[in-house]
A and B are shown apart, each in its own frame.
Chain A
């Protein structure tokens, strides 16, 4: 019963993640791809998606953006990923059970930046800001499921 309660507690985060994804349309992706140099927050959001999908990110480098040190994103790889017409559906069907503690640890430095949230991303980039919520929700899901699953098996 505890396990069910915990899972129920995680559900709003997952629902929020899915509705965030549903708010992104293929048109948004096309518009984003047309930008040669998108806002920095967009590059970082896409780095999180790359890490969740085990795709390449670049060597660690930090830069100052609006007074905070933030990681430099690998936008070339993000553009490649967006070139796949199944990109959005691959996120909707994302195998969240396969997320590892390591991936969550690699994402945390991105979440630490003060501007890494839906509202500031939305201002900079419109609808694709939903990916920011999605990445955080995937990590939340993993952290909850890790505690809950052993209880369900038991």
Chain B
């Protein structure tokens, strides 16, 4: 057995298991391949109709191959080995949700390109600097953010941490699964 699955092999399995043609499917599930996917590549380009692409529970180290997905709204990459938000230009104008928990992100440079981003779930990454959250102020549509399990100080889950986030991102409607109350937003503004 080879030690990783290619995107092409994973798409082949998806087509067979679901009896669909990849270039027609709106939702494409390439999660938890055995052996895991390690590389994203241009074979993703066949997914012309794809609105939701799931690649979670693999061992992907680098983002790539996202230049020909004209309809992509939801990109799910949780539980991989991704260190950087890069090569997102192809989906910058369409992507609304990025699910990228359980990866190795330390920095968020690149996220500002996602102009329609509404949901960012990124628990259990390595982000510790508050300045990284300042970048998210550029994502004007951002409503929902999940940061639990990142090494911020004060720690996620504490009221002090919530204030620090809301000070920077007053437009958030939900933080770490808990709705943001108007009073909370006000006191963050005053702080």
B136 nearest CB across to chain A (Å) = 18
Once A59-B59, A62-B35, A97-B177 are accepted as A-B contacts, the answer to whether A105 and B124 lie under 8 Å apart by CB is no
B103-146: contact bitstring with A at CB < 8 Å (1 yes, 0 no)?
00000000000000000010110000000000000000000001
Task: Give which listed residue, B57, B149, B178, contacts A60 with CB less than 8 A.
Answer: B57
B41 nearest CB across to chain A (Å) = 19
Tell me, yes or no, whether B96 is within 8 Å of chain A by CB. no
What is the interface of chain A mostly: helix, strand, loop, or mixed?
A: mixed
Once A54-B124, A57-B79 are accepted as A-B contacts, the answer to whether A105 and B176 lie under 8 Å apart by CB is no
Task: Give which listed residue, B36, B80, B81, B121, contacts A100 with CB less than 8 A.
Answer: B121
**What band does the interface of chain B fall in when counting residues whose beta carbon is under 8 Å from A?**
20 to 34
* B81–A56 CB distance below 8 A: no
* B101–A60 CB distance below 8 A: no
A48-61: contact bitstring with B at CB < 8 Å (1 yes, 0 no)?
00000011110110
* A106–B56 CB distance below 8 A: yes
How far is it, in angstroms, between the C-alpha of A154 and the C-alpha of B176 when the chains are bound?
A: 25
- Across-interface contacts of B123 in A (CB, < 8 A): 54
Once A57-B102, A59-B59, A95-B177 are accepted as A-B contacts, the answer to whether A105 and B35 lie under 8 Å apart by CB is no
* B177–A102 CB distance below 8 A: no
Number of residues from A at the complex interface, CB < 8 A: 22
Once A60-B59, A105-B54, A106-B102 are accepted as A-B contacts, the answer to whether A98 and B177 lie under 8 Å apart by CB is yes
How far is it, in angstroms, between the C-alpha of A89 and the C-alpha of B76 when the chains are bound?
A: 31
CB-nearest residue of chain A to B59: A60
How far is it, in angstroms, between the C-alpha of A139 and the C-alpha of B149 when the chains are bound?
A: 21
Top 9 closest pairs, chain A to chain B, by CB: A98-B177, A109-B32, A102-B99, A54-B148, A54-B123, A69-B34, A102-B121, A54-B149, A60-B36
- What would be 26 A-B contacts, judged by CB atoms less than 8 Å apart? A54-B101, A54-B123, A54-B146, A55-B124, A55-B149, A56-B149, A57-B124, A59-B81, A60-B32, A60-B58, A60-B79, A60-B80, A62-B34, A62-B36, A69-B34, A95-B178, A100-B121, A100-B146, A101-B99, A102-B56, A105-B31, A105-B54, A105-B99, A106-B101, A108-B32, A109-B57
